[in-house]
Homo-oligomer: A and B are copies of this chain.
Amino acid sequence: MSRRHVPTLSADSAVISTATGDSSNVSTDSSAVQTRARRTTALSTQSDIHDAILHPGNVRINVRGAFIVDDTNSEPSTPRSEDYEHDPHEIRLPHHTEVVSHIAVDIGGSLAKLVYFTREPNSTSDGGRLNFVKFETDRIDSCIDFMRKLQADYQRNNGSKPEELCVMATGGGAFKYYDRIREALNVEVIREEEMECLIIGLDFFITEIPKEVFTYSEDSPMEFMDLPSQPPSIYPYLLVNIGSGVSMIKVSGPRQFERIGGTSLGGGTLWGLLSLLTGARNFDDMLKLAAKGDNSTVDLLVGDIYGGAYNKIGLKSTHIASSFGKVYKQKRVAEQEAEDGCNGPLKTHTPEQELVSGTSELPHPSSMFRPEDISRSLLYAVSNNIGQIAYLHAEKHNLPHIYFGGSFIGGHAQTMNTLSYAIRFWSKGSKQAYFLRHEGYLGSVGAFLKRQPRNWGRRNSFETGEKMRV
Contacts and interface: CB of A to CB of B under 8 A. Distances in A.
Contacts of A294: none
A428 interface: no
Interface stretch (A120-128, A212-220, A304-312): A304-312
Contacts of A381: 264-265, 269
Contact of A281 (B193, B312, B332): B332
Given A109-B321, A245-B321, A272-B326, A371 B358 contact: yes
A267 interface: yes
A322 B275 contact: no
B244 A385 contact: no
Contacts of A467: none
A269 B306 CA distance: 19
A359 B348 contact: no
Contact of A349 (B82, B171, B332, B350): B82
A278 to B, nearest CB: 7
Interface residues of A, number: 102
A346 interface: yes
A332 B286 CA distance: 14
Nearest to A142: B346
Interface of A: 82-83, 108-110, 136-139, 171-173, 175-176, 193, 195, 243-245, 259, 261, 263-269, 271-273, 275-282, 284-285, 288-289, 298-300, 302, 304-308, 310, 312-313, 320-329, 331-333, 335, 346-351, 354, 356-361, 364-367, 369-372, 374, 381, 384-385, 388-389, 392-393, 395-396, 426, 470
9 contacts: A138-B332, A244-B300, A245-B320, A263-B388, A265-B385, A275-B365, A279-B361, A358-B372, A389-B392
Given A82-B348, A281-B332, A282-B354, 9 more contacts: A82-B349, A171-B305, A172-B310, A269-B381, A275-B365, A276-B277, A276-B324, A285-B351, A395-B396
